[in-house]
Amino acid sequence: SIKAAAKDVAFDVMSFYRGNQSGQIPGLVSQPPPGGDYSWWTGAVLWSTMLDYWYYSDDGTYNAESLNGLVWQSGPDLQHPFMPPNWTASLGNDDEGLWGMTAMQAAEQNFPRPPAADPSWIELAQAVFEVQAARYAADDACNGGLRWQLSPVNQGYMYKNTVSTAVFLNLGARLARYTGNQTYAEWAGKAWEWLSDVGYIDAKYNVYDGAAIESNCSDIDKLQFSLAPAVLLQAAAYMYNQTTDKTQQSTWQTRLTALTDRTLTVFFPPSDAASTSTSTTTNATGPLVESACELSAGKTTCSSDMLFYKGVLLRALASAAQLAPFLRDAVAAPLRTTAEAAVASCAGGKSGRACAFRWADDGADDLRGAPPEELNALSAVLVGGVLREEVAAGKGVATNGTAKPGDSSGGGDGGNGASDSGSGSGSSGSGNGAGAGTGSQGNGAGKATGAATRIGFGLVLAALVAVMMS
């Protein structure tokens, strides 16, 4: 079954984790690549993925690690949310926002709350939004948007990247849905309009990396990675879902439809054209390709950060389809193709089940069996389960329509699901890149199991592929 496959991949993901061992720091992605540690923000992707695993499988095996990791990295107080002292020197708005999105997800999914002495998940999410709204309001460079990094000594301080504003927008959309406070929705709309006006989202709904402030954000780096559209299309789905005004809902439906269509075209090209990012086909079939750095003939130039993006996009698309069911037909085929390819790639390494980064050419690379590859594969399996509705009864999208700003309550299963008329709510993941390079998404800096386990996993994967193809 899909749940059995997810359980095995989740085990492999957590086999890399060292934050629960003596002398290690909780919350961080362990087993770094040769070039240095994985970036701090990747911990947000780890826990967002594991929260979705718990939520859709009802397996709480890793809940203690997830809770402790999130709390440990949550920062010293609500005035400095997800700003732990060890990371503030190079902190980016995108980094902080991605952790805030994971806290928001924990609230939506009614994940066990932190100890009583610590802020609740919704308080953390609101605190991140509030400090970022204050930064946005105080900065008139380029007439809007958030800077990439917080400190003036960092190069990213003079760069406004799409993802920093996108995570802020995403939090605003989700807080509006969760609390009913339309101030959040107004901020989300303002942020989207700025991204569009400045050209980071163009008329065809391509989503670009960002631009330097010295050019008044006009000299745009037009690299396209899957992370930014993932965060944005999920945000648009939340806005569509929670908006009751018919004109506004139509606006968000148009934005969501166009962005989803373009994202599928760019990142899910036909398999015989996986090396191109300029395909104009509307018949996106997958599997998912990180087109800016996943090149033809097995060549991959992605940084360690970029390896984490695929799982974020997969779970965002599934989340969006729950919030806006009219998307389901468009996303089902490419997500199914991707899930099949991802599962089929989990057959290498010393363990015989290590998953690959590349899915369009049968894992034709050496990137296999490390945390990002396993997280991406787990996301692919979870998406297969969500699309086939092999989830616990009532596990649709989550909401708490009664929570207000400052409310410390958790989220919950709303039970009303989602409909084309806008009822319901949603949940899903996050992620972003940081480091050197031409834009904000440049470079950041398993255990083998027994033969019986490997054979059992292989049988589960074979069954899973058969189910998905049925």
**Which run of H or E residues covers position 159?**
strand 159-161
CA distance 370 to 98: 21
- The whole-number pLDDT of residue 36 equals 55
CA distances from 442 to 66, 158, 329, 438 (A): 27, 16, 34, 7
Average pLDDT across the chain, whole number? 83
Domain spans, the chain? 2-469
Residue range 62-82: mean pLDDT, rounded: 98
CA gyration radius, the chain: 20
Cα diameter, the chain: 61
Which among 177-186, 266-275, 333-342 has the top mean pLDDT? 177-186
Domain covering 2-469 in this structure, CATH number:
1.50.10.20
The answer for residues whose C-beta is within 8 angstroms of residue 65's C-beta and 6 or more apart is: 14, 17, 19, 20, 26, 50
Q: What is the pTM of this model?
A: 0.85
Residue range 15-42: mean pLDDT, rounded: 84
pLDDT in tens, 163-220: 999 999 999 999 999 999 999 999 999 999 999 999 999 999 999 999 999 999 999 9
Residue range 150-159: mean pLDDT, rounded: 96
Instruction: Categorize the per-residue pLDDT at 232 as very low, low, confident or very high, splitting at 50, 70 and 90.
Output: very high
**Is residue 272's pLDDT more than 70?**
no
- The whole-number pLDDT of residue 26 equals 96
Lowest-pLDDT range, 15-19, 167-171, 379-383, 409-413? 409-413
Lowest-pLDDT range, 55-64, 92-101, 251-260, 288-297? 288-297
pLDDT in tens, 297-319: 778 899 999 999 999 999 999 99
